Amino acid sequence: MKIRTAAVALFALAASGATASAQITVARETIGYDGAKKIVDTCMDMARAKHWPVALWVLDITGQPVYFASMGSSEIGITTAKFKAESALRTGAPSGDRAGALSTPIGQLTTARIGLFPVDGGIPLMKDGKLIGSVGGGGGRPENGKSVDQICAQAGIDATFGKK
């Protein structure tokens, strides 16, 4: 009976077209909790020292929140921080890079329709050239013409992944 069961199982496997080398799914690396926490903690330490209000979101490759913190940021700052992280994740580029597209009608239309937020503060997380998540900062005021959201988020990324 065991030989018959094994023969039926072997036949079913062959009939299904499955092979040992077929790859139906692919594992995708994504930012983990510990990495996300380190990014946020570093940014929050910087913001505390400089008295910056800031909110920071870290999203995984699917766009789900991995870690979030806010210190002195308004509801608008919290919301725009998430928009920036989502924009960086969708495009694989910093959210502020999209601002140049607003100079053309088609750029304005696609930015609005896709729901991108073309303001500094969203940064894609890359590892070995692959997107693994994103970070979005919001709520800070520009300082010396620079986005403190972007500065703070980048400091967290640099502390976690090493400065580039």
Read off the pLDDT of residues 11-20 as tens digits, 9 standing for 90 and up: 554 555 555 5
Residue 16 inside a domain? The answer is no
Residues whose CB is less than 8 angstroms from the CB of residue 98 and which lie 6 or more positions away in sequence, other chains included:
87, 91, 111, 116, 117, 118
Number of separate domains in the chain: 1
For residues 140 and 146, what is the distance between their CA atoms, to the nearest angstrom?
Answer: 10
Residue 2 inside a domain? The answer is no
Residue 21 inside a domain? The answer is no
Report whether 96 contacts 120 (CB < 8 A): yes
DSSP state of 139: S
Q: What is the pLDDT of residues 22-40, one digit of tens each?
A: 889 888 899 999 999 999 9
For residues 126 and 18, what is the distance between their CA atoms, to the nearest angstrom?
Answer: 34
Report whether 156 contacts 40 (CB < 8 A): yes
Residue 83 inside a domain? The answer is yes
Q: Looking at residue 10, what is its pLDDT?
A: 47
Domain residue limits at 116? 26-161
User: Residue 159: what residue type?
Assistant: A
Report whether 15 contacts 100 (CB < 8 A): no
Residue 53 inside a domain? The answer is yes
Residue 98 pLDDT > 50, yes or no? Answer: yes
Residue 13 inside a domain? The answer is no
Residue 9 inside a domain? The answer is no
Residue 48 inside a domain? The answer is yes
Between 156 and 14, residue with greater pLDDT = 156
Task: Pick the closest to residue 89 from 119, 127, 116 (CA basis).
Answer: 116
Which CATH number fits the domain that encloses residue 114? 3.30.450.150
Residue 141 pLDDT > 90, yes or no? Answer: no
